[in-house]
Amino acid sequence: MTDKFVVGPSPHVLGPKTVKSVMWEVVIALAPVSIAGILLFGLDALLVLVTATVTAMILEALVLHRNLKPASILGDGSAAVSGLILGLILPPSTPLWMVVIAAAVGILLGKHAFGGLGNNIFNPALVARAFVFMSWPVAMTTWHGPLSLSDWTTRVSVDVASSASPLGGAQHGLMEMFLGQTAGSIGETSALAILLGAIFLIVRGHIDWRAPLGYVGSAAVVAAIYSFLGGDFALTTIAWQLMAGGLLFAAVFMITDMVTSPVTKTGRLLFGIGCGLITMVIRLYLSAPEGVTYGILFMNAMVPLIDRYTVPKVFGEVKSR
């Protein structure tokens, strides 16, 4: 028996979840899209993913611990999540030095300039993408088509001819898009892999259905209205809009980012709807090829406001007479 008992506030039992477990489980959820990206885009994709992740982790270790011990680099896993997500939203042909700069901008400017984990207003990966997108627009919009099976069996060719992405006007069948056999960012093309990650996250209770549903739902509504006004209304057009570009990936992995989304249930739904509307408006009416980045960044800035106006009614709150 000890001479002094341990005394502290209630509760005296705590749940199994830790920041570390949450972050590494998100990494696990990103595994299907990462694997799909590597299978579709080859060695280039692998190098981009590894570079982005490792750069992010090393920079975070330097900022937080000022050393590069293995424990510091692994940290709580949040840098790995940001880095990996950043890699997944870059084109597979991005030069690696550009990836390093992107990761540095994301971690240093997007995250630690705001005070580190939990305090950043904007999604670090999206800050990084917005930065490189504005700095090197050509590199960021040069898409390479996916490798075919024969490419893999012969040799992975680095110089696959550049081709247009679906949003750039390329024509693809819905099935091709579902599996991800289109040009695009590493992790964004395969709807199937994204859905696998989504199922894992929902089952493990890390994401709430409200934000993704609001996002995809509102995007679908805008797409429907647009196609209706354009006179070629068809369900396939809507499905095409939802699977093109980074919309689905964002719905599962970016607007559900805990730090930069609202905490209230109503707030999450509103946040998703807002992101969806802005994304689609940018996509359809502006000259920019992709609205996901700016749509979400804009709504990130709205989060404190959304939380403030969606404070839930407490248990048994009496309606004002």
Partner 1 sequence: MSKSFSGGIHPAYNKAMTAEIPIADMPLPDKVRLPLSQHIGAPCKPLVAKGDTVAMGQKIADSDSFVSAPIHASVAGEVVLVDDQAIEIKTDKEKSRFSGAAQSYNNQGELRQIIREAGIVGLGGATFPTHVKVTPPEGVTIHTFMINGAECEPFLTTDHRVMLEQGQEMIAGSKLLMEACGAEKTIIGIEKNKPDAIEHMSKLIADEPAFAVTGVQVKYPQGWEKQLIKSLVGQEVPDKGLPLDLGIVMNNVATAVAVHRAVEYGEPLLNRVVTVSGSGINKPQNVRAPLGTSVADLVEFCGGLKPEAAKIIDGGPMMGRALSTLDTPITKGTSGILVFNRDEVHLFSEDPCIRCASCVDACPSRLLPNYLALYVKREMLDEAEEINLMSCIECGCCSYVCPSKIPLVHYFQRGKQEINARNRNQ
Partner 2 sequence: MDFVSDILIPVASLAGLGLIFGALLAVANKVFMVKVDKRVADISEVLPGINCGACGYPSCSAFAEAVAAGKAPVNGCVPGRAEVAEKVGDIMGVEAEADERFVAKLACRGTEDVARDKLEYYGAADCRSAMLIEGGPKACAYGCMGLGTCVEVCPFGAITMGEEGLPLFEDELCNGCRRCFKACPKDVIRMVSVNAEVDVACNNHDKGAAVLKACKVGCIACGKCVKVCPEDAIEMVDNLAVIDYHKCTNCGACIEACPTNAIVRLSPVI
Contact 135, 97 (CB under 8 A): no
225: enclosing H helix or E strand: helix 210-229
Which residue from 44, 188, 208, 290 is in contact with partner 1, where contact means CB under 8 A? Answer: 208
Is 60 one of the binding residues for partner 1 (CB under 8 A)?
no
What angle, rounded to 10 degrees, do the helices at 292-309 and 265-285 form?
150
Based on C-alpha coordinates, what's the Rg of the chain?
A: 21
Shortest distance, CB of residue 18 to partner 2, whole angstroms? 16
Q: Determine whether 175 is exposed, middle or buried from the number of CB atoms within 10 Å of its CB (0-12, 13-18, 19+).
A: exposed
Helix (H, G, I), strand (E, B) or coil at 163: strand
Shortest distance, CB of residue 74 to partner 2, whole angstroms? 25
Q: Which residue has the tokens 């996002």?
A: 215
Is 188 one of the binding residues for partner 1 (CB under 8 A)?
no
281 binds, among partner 1, partner 2, none (CB under 5 to 8 A by kind): none
Residue 163 phi, psi dihedral angles, 5° rounding: -140, 170
Whole-angstrom Cα distance, residue 152 to residue 137?
A: 29
Which residue from 5, 69, 203, 321 is in contact with partner 1, where contact means CB under 8 A? Answer: 5
Which residue from 43, 68, 265, 301 is in contact with partner 1, where contact means CB under 8 A? Answer: 265
Is 29 one of the binding residues for partner 1 (CB under 8 A)?
no
Shortest distance, CB of residue 1 to partner 2, whole angstroms? 13
Of 6 and 138, the one with the shorter C-beta distance to partner 2 is 6
Residues forming the site for partner 1 (CB under 8 A)? 1-2, 4-15, 17-19, 21-22, 76, 78, 116-119, 206, 208, 258-261, 263-265, 268, 307, 311-318
